[in-house]
Structures are given as structure tokens and as C-alpha cells.
């Protein structure tokens, strides 16, 4: 039995997760995510897979975020015909994400073509894929519930355990049994956190031999959730006093639903007044519907609210979902106070860019960053409080306030990740392979792991192959 592991994305970087297990010459892909960064770099990386589609025997999707599922339509377009294994909730979310991406690319192509025409420039860029490719990728997804082993190859079992990251997120536990040997590989996907609202805590799978571990926040500790709620309330009160706006770039999946839940709590408890909240993302609206049809993923508190008491934790009187482009445009003419939650979470695409164009120069606006912003993204530049930012090819002065609350992150910080590792049976553990993190975070995380007794750790490098014995 010969097992090798290598990475085609999210090696010493965040976003673009694509990892390969090669077992006796057959390749099994874990995630096929899109890289997010500057437009030119992202386009270059996303068009170059590093592996031919016909070499992949089957694929696994850990969860529905764009940086983990976003290139499955391109893989299907390039001829991949095999199965894509995912939990039922992940299949539904990924379908939404991939279709939305195809639509955004089509709209971007049309917009950029018009801009080039105005300037008399040649325009040759084409979208990575179209709606039909997203539909094809969805048709290849096989729903596998948590804790239900599935044979995905000769002597190869896959079992999903809840990762506690977003709805449907999973750790992929792969058991290879051949020639009288057994090798157990645990791919964490994106590891979540305990006691988050809506979804369950991360599971504790059986003893692994190898762990492929994400490291996004390997150098950071998250804020206390209670303190974060206080800060959220303070920002809301300040906005009401200034009759301003809060712009929240948020991923349509999980973060948007959590923020609605938190604002609901603050209003319910009389801590803040009712402020009109607009979820300006058709995908977020559809995602909220997906949440309602997957109670198998809920924490006991949410399950109790939905099923026993029929209360909707995601909706209240001051909450509005926009449904049309015109409704989205109308938000920019509205007077505050109001809150706009809009995708994309890194500000690289979608309606949030248009809201920033209209409001980033207003000192009564607050841009609230509540999630990870990758290097070279518009979101990172705003989070870094740069005085001038470029949006749609134009420069804008940033006069808006910028706030960051990282307690709402769906990623475990280094302390939470180590606590989870210590909760596992590590009697068989031979090595940890660190992926999905920037070099600074990974260097710090490796030191934290060593201090906790986990010294056999490799920071996975793009192009390197690692043998699993």
C-alpha cells in the first residue's frame, strides 16, 4: 500500500483549498476551492489546477464555502465525471454558491466588457465557468450523512464528522485498508468552534494516524463572545446617534445568519433599539431557507426553538431581505440609521462593492469586518484602514470608520484548535500536516503545537509530496 499526500492550493496561503491523497496510483481530491486575492492572481491560479481531471478517481467536499467548493464546476467543465461526496446540507449550500459564482462572473464579464469598450480597449477575459457547469457539478454530488461510512474506492472508507464550522461542514475521516494494513487520515476541512449559535460543536472522530489541519488563525486568539456582543451594541448605538450606516461584508452562509441572530438577541433584550437591517444578498436569502430544511445540523438550542416552539431565530420585524437589483440600489439613497449585510465577505465581488462605492467616503458610515480577509483583497485593505482603495477600477477616499470583531469567526483560533486536538485519542497519531494558513500564522501555530506536545508537524508546501507510511 502506497499513500502520498500533496496540496494544489491553500499551501502556505488561505483560500483555494485543493488537496490530493494518492493511494496506489489513484487520486482522491479533498476540496476544490477557488483562490481569492487580486483579480489577476486569482484568475491565473484558478485556471491552473495542477492535475488533469481524468486522473481524479473521486472527490470529497468538506463544506460549502467558495474557497473549498468554488472550482468544482471548472473541474466538471474540464471533464471530471466522478462522484463528489458531501453532506446533504453542504451539497445544497455548494450548489447555491457555485451558481451564484457563475452568475457573478457573467455579470462581471459584461460590466468589464462595457468599461473596456468605453476606453477603446481590447477585452478578452472569459468566465471560469457558466451556470451549466455549476449544474453539472451539483449533479455529481453524492449526499452522505454524518457518521455513515461510505466506500469511495477499493478498501477506502469515508466517514463525515461535524466540523462545527458552518451548516453541513465536515471533517473527512478516511480509512485505507489494504494488504493487512490500516491507515487512518483525518482532513479537518475548516475547523469550527465550541458554543457557536445555530450549529453543533466540532465532533471528536476516532484515533487518526495523520491529520490534515487548517491553520487560518494559528497566531491569534479570538475575542470573548460577550465582549463582542458589547462592541456590536456600542457600534449600533453610535450609528443610531449619527444617523449613519453600518456596512457588514459577510459571507452569505453562516455569518449572515449568525449576525441576524445576534442583532435579534440585542433588540429582544432591549440593549439596542430596532434598526432597519437589510440582508442584501439573494444568496443569503436562499441560504436562510437552506438552514430551515437542515435541522440535523442544529445545536440543541436552535433545534428546540425551531421544532418545539416554532420560533424563527433568523427573523424579526426590523429585518428585510432585498430581492431585486433595484431594491439593492435603493439602499444607497436611504437615510440612516440602517444596517446592510451584504456578500462577498472579502469584498472581492457582489453587491457589497456597490455599497462601498456609495458609502465609503461618508464619515457616518462604519464598515464592520467580522470575518477573515485574505491577503491582497479589498476587504483586507479596508480592514487595514488604508486611506484610499480601488473599487471597479476607480479610487475612493476612505472616510468611513472601520471596526473589526473577530469573535464571530467560524474558524478555531490556536487555543481552540489545540484543545480540540487534545480531546482526540492521539495514541496512533504520527504526523500533522498544516494547510490553509498564511506563513506567519503557521509558524506561530507550529510553535504553539510543539508547546502542547504535538512536535511532528509539517507545514505543507505547494509542490512537495509527503509519504504516509
Highest mean pLDDT: which range of 295-309, 329-343, 421-435: 421-435
- Pick left, alpha or beta for residue 436 (phi over 0 → left; psi -120 to 50 → alpha; otherwise beta): left
Which of 179, 148, 203 minimizes the C-alpha distance to 3? 179
Domain boundaries, the chain: 3-220+410-468, 225-408
Q: Is domain 3-220+410-468 annotated with CATH 3.60.15.10?
A: yes
- Name the residue among 229, 261, 244 with its Cα closest to residue 407: 229
Confidence of residue 193 (pLDDT cuts 50, 70, 90): very high
Average pLDDT over residues 216-221: 95
* Nearest of 412, 9, 33 to residue 192 by alpha carbon: 412
The CA distance from 164 to 87, in Å, is: 13
For the entire predicted model, the pTM comes to 0.85
Q: Is the dihedral of CA 341, 343, 345, 349 positive or negative?
A: negative
pLDDT tens, position by position, 337-384: 999 999 888 888 888 999 999 999 999 999 999 988 888 899 999 999
- Residue 216 neighbours by CB under 8 Å, 6+ apart: 14, 190, 372, 411, 436, 437, 441
pLDDT of 317? 63
- CATH for 225-408 is 3.40.50.10890
Please give the share of the chain, as a percent, with pLDDT higher than 70.
97
Residue 34 has pLDDT above 80, yes or no: yes
Tell me what pLDDT residue 376 has: 86
- pLDDT at residue 114 above 70? yes
Distance between CA 26 and CA 38 in Å, rounded? 34
Residue 319 vs residues 234, 241, 287: alpha-carbon distances, Å:
19, 20, 15
Mean pLDDT of the chain: 91
Answer whether residue 434 shows pLDDT above 60: yes
Q: Characterize 5-41 residue by residue with b for buried, 16 or more Cβ atoms within 10 angstroms of its Cβ, and e for exposed.
A: bbbbbbbbbbbbbbbbbbbeeebbbbbbbbbbbeeee
SS (H, E, C) 97-129: HHHHHHHHHHHHHHHHHHHHHHHCCCCCCCCCC
> Is residue 315 over pLDDT 80?
no
- Whether 106 shows a pLDDT value over 90: the answer reads yes
pLDDT at 309 over 60: no
Amino acid at each position: 500500500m502506497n499513500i502520498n499526500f500533496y496540496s494544489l492550493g491553500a499551501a502556505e496561503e488561505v483560500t483555494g483549498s485543493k488537496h490530493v491523497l494518492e493511494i496506489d496510483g489513484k487520486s482522491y481530491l479533498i476540496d476544490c476551492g477557488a483562490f481569492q486575492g487580486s483579480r489577476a492572481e486569482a484568475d491565473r491560479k484558478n485556471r491552473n489546477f495542477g492535475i488533469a481531471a481524468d486522473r481524479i478517481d473521486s472527490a470529497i467536499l468538506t463544506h460549502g464555502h467558495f474557497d473549498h467548493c468554488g472550482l468544482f464546476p471548472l473541474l466538471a467543465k474540464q471533464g471530471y465525471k466522478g462522484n463528489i461526496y458531501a453532506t446533504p446540507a453542504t451539497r445544497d449550500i455548494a450548489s447555491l454558491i457555485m451558481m451564484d459564482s457563475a452568475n457573478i462572473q457573467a455579470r462581471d464579464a459584461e460590466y468589464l466588457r462595457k468599461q473596456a469598450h468605453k476606453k477603446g480597449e481590447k477585452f478578452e477575459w472569459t468566465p471560469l465557468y457558466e451556470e451549466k457547469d455549476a449544474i453539472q457539478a451539483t449533479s455529481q454530488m453524492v449526499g452522505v450523512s454524518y457518521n455513515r461510512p461510505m466506500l469511495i474506492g477499493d478498501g477506502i472508507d469515508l466517514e463525515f464528522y461535524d466540523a462545527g464550522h458552518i451548516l453541513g461542514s465536515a471533517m473527512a475521516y478516511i480509512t485505507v485498508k489494504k494488504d493487512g494494513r490500516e491507515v487512518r487520515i483525518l482532513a479537518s476541512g475548516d475547523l469550527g468552534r465550541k458554543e457557536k449559535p445555530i450549529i453543533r460543536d466540532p465532533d471528536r472522530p476516532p484515533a487518526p494516524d495523520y491529520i490534515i489541519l487548517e491553520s487560518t488563525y494559528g497566531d491569534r486568539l479570538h475575542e470573548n463572545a460577550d465582549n463582542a456582543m458589547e462592541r456590536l451594541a456600542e457600534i449600533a448605538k453610535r450609528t443610531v446617534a449619527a444617523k449613519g450606516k453600518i456596512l457588514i461584508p459577510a459571507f452569505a452562509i453562516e455569518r449572515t445568519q449568525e449576525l441576524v441572530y445576534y442583532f435579534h438577541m440585542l433588540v429582544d433584550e432591549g440593549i439596542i433599539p430596532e434598526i432597519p437591517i437589510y440582508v442584501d444578498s439573494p444568496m443569503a436569502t436562499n441560504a436562510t431557507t437552506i438552514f430551515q430544511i437542515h435541522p440535523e445540523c442544529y445545536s440543541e438550542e436552535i433545534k428546540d426553538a425551531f421544532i418545539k416552539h416554532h420560533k424563527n431565530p433568523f427573523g424579526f420585524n426590523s429585518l428585510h431581505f432585498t430581492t431585486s437589483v433595484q431594491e439593492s440600489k435603493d439602499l444607497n439613497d436611504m437615510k440612516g440609521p440602517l444596517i446592510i449585510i451584504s456578500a462577498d465577505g472579502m469584498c472581492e465581488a457582489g453587491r457589497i462593492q456597490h455599497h462601498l462605492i456609495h458609502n465609503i467616503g461618508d464619515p457616518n458610515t462604519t464598515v464592520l469586518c467580522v470575518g477573515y480577509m485574505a491577503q491582497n483583497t479589498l476587504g483586507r485593505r479596508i480592514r487595514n484602514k488604508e486611506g484610499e482603495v480601488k473599487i471597479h477600477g476607480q479610487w475612493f477616499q476612505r472616510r468611513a470608520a472601520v471596526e473589526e470583531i473577530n469573535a464571530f469567526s467560524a474558524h478555531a483560533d490556536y487555543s481552540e484548535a489545540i484543545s480540540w486536538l487534545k480531546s482526540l485519542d492521539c495514541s496512533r497519531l504520527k504526523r500533522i500536516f498544516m494547510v490553509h494558513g498564511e506563513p506567519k500564522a503557521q509558524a506561530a501555530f507550529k510553535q504553539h503545537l510543539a508547546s502542547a506536545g504535538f512536535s511532528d508537524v509539517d507545514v505543507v508546501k505547494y509542490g512537495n509530496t509527503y509519504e504516509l507510511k
